Amino acid sequence: MSAFTGASVCVCYQVGEDEILGWIRRGAASVEDLGEMCRAGQGCGDCHESLEELLEDVSAEGPPDER
Ligand code: FES
């Protein structure tokens, strides 16, 4: 078993969905931010679409203080 939980989103850097969601909730606002924070998306670029979708999912939840 691998160390991360959730589906692997970025295969190049083995970054899972749960980890990416965690970074987005901690302030990542773009694919570039995620790349700086956890390297996701810095390789082949195939995962950019999935990263965008996760960014949209979290922004649809609204700011944490409104939940
Ligand atoms: S799968 Fe994320 S950069 Fe290649």
Q: For 11-46, write each residue's pLDDT tens digit.
A: 999 999 999 999 999 999 999 999 999 999 999 999
CB atoms within 10 A of CB 55: 19
Name the residue ranges covered by the structural domains of the chain. 8-61
- Probe ligand 1: pick from 4, 8, 10, 53, max atoms within 8 Å of CB? 10
CATH 1.10.357.10 fits 8-61, yes or no: no
pTM of the complete model: 0.83
Pairing mode of beta strands 15-16, 8-10: antiparallel
Ligand 1 proximity of 38 Cβ (cutoff 6 Å): no
